[in-house]
Homo-oligomer: A and B are copies of this chain.
Amino acid sequence: MIIIMNSQATKADIEAIESRLADFGFKTHPIYGETKTVIGAVGDKRRLSMNQLLMMKGVENIVPIMKPYKLAGRELQKTQSVITVGNTEIGGNKLTVIAGPCAIESNEQFTEIAKRVKASGATILRGGAYKPRSSPYSFAGLEEEGLKIMRSAGDEVGLPICTEVLDTREVDMVASYADMLQIGARNMQNFKLLREVGKHKKPILLKRGLSSTIEEWLMAAEYIMSEGNENVILCERGIRTFEPSTRNTFDISAIPVTKELSHLPIIADPSHAAGIAKYVGSIAKGAVAAGADGVMIEVHNCPEKAMSDGEQSLTPDMFDELIREMKPIADAVGRVL
């Protein structure tokens, strides 16, 4: 790391820093500029708190050189991860298509949607049994009953299922039904929940937090991986900005940036990014062209009666058309759909 001393720092201040760093096994290399001194320090940063160093007299700032995530980063694993989810894989040559309704509302509703999206080309089913809702008065999901419906429909159509888990107390139970667990955007820094899902082997779809930097997102992946579960899939779902015409702003750059920094696959969720059905297709196609490993699309057989997020759901017909439009784009970037 590099310690930048301020212009008032004395020789004694610099020596105190060097001495502290030496105590922790660092080698130091001071560089004296005209008005400021900087100290290069080589050693294992995990043994020393940068915050403590920051508080020492004469220190202006500290610049880390190494990335704080190890397991999620490219340094220890150079090759792209391919993660098995039920009878399919994420991160390989085949484009992943996760589809289904926001909330599981009934066996009829979910099974019908499952059949339709499977027919169109979906490779994984999604659906919410536990729904995080911004109002305590909104429909919060069918809970375990929903999981049973989902499992049964998944088995019937032959697709793996993915669903969100909200509570540390429910991880075991949800994992007993689902093929992939989703950590939602609002829980991306619910560190207790991250640790808990890290104790399972089921793949984890980790949504980016509403205003999380890519580094914080990879650190959330690191939490899960550091508990032993390396099956993490990133999911970009838009970040919060000042622009009111969409629910969130889909950060398309996150696709090449995470591809560079991490070996983990990345899925695009244009439905939550846009928040409005008519914009979903453009974003989905853009994400595939930009190199995403897959997309996650909300589909509802009757959006105008959906109990949650109807305004961003495609009908099965719209979904079918979108898949057909995505095919030549997937082809253009060397993916199979």
- In the complex, chain B residues whose CB is within 8 Å of the CB of A313: 55
From A42, A277, A290, A311, residue with most partner B Cβ within 10 Å? A290
> Are A189 and B132 interface neighbours, CB within 8 A?
yes
Which residues 169-198 of A sit at the B interface, judged by CB distance below 8 A?
A: 169, 186-187, 189-192, 195
Bitwise, A45-86 to B at CB < 8 A (1) or not (0) is 010010111111000000101101000000100000000000
Q: How many angstroms from the CA of A260 to the CA of B279 in the assembled complex?
A: 9
Known contacts A63-B2, A135-B222, A169-B168; decide if A213 and B244 are in contact (CB<8 Å). yes
Are B132 and A191 interface neighbours, CB within 8 A?
A: yes
Chain B proximity of A50: nearest CB distance (Å): 9
Task: Give the complex CA separation of A304 and B50 in angstroms.
Answer: 10
Q: A51 — which chain B residues lie within 8 A by C-beta?
A: 306, 308-311
CA A135 – CA B211 in complex, angstroms? Answer: 17
Q: A87 at interface (Cβ–Cβ under 8 A)?
A: no
Query: A145 at interface (Cβ–Cβ under 8 A)?
Result: no
A210 at the interface (CB under 8 A from B): yes
Contact of A211 with B211 at beta-carbon distance under 8 Å, contacts A189-B186, A222-B136, A241-B239 already known: yes
From B168, B306, B332, contact of A329 by CB (8 A): B332
Given known A-B contacts A55-B310, A241-B241, A245-B214, A42 and B46 have beta carbons under 8 A apart: no
Which A residues between 132 and 148 are near B, CB-CB below 8 angstroms? 132-137, 140
Q: Report chain B residues within 8 Å CB of A110.
A: none
Instruction: Count how many chain A residues have C-beta atoms less than 8 Å from C-beta atoms of the other chain.
Output: 105
Q: Is the CB of A241 within 8 A of B246?
A: no
- Cβ < 8 Å to B, chain A residues 225-240: 226-227, 239-240
Task: Report A262 CB to chain B, min CB distance, Å.
Answer: 12
A-B contact pairs, 11 of them (CB 8 A): A52-B304, A55-B310, A136-B219, A140-B191, A166-B190, A186-B191, A209-B210, A214-B243, A257-B279, A289-B289, A328-B332
Closest 7 A-B residue pairs measured CB to CB? A211-B211, A289-B289, A328-B332, A286-B290, A55-B304, A31-B40, A286-B286
Supply 17 further A-B pairs (C-beta < 8 A) apart from A167-B168, A244-B244, A253-B273: A4-B65, A29-B31, A33-B42, A46-B137, A54-B311, A56-B304, A209-B210, A213-B244, A239-B242, A239-B249, A246-B257, A250-B253, A252-B286, A253-B279, A286-B287, A289-B289, A325-B332
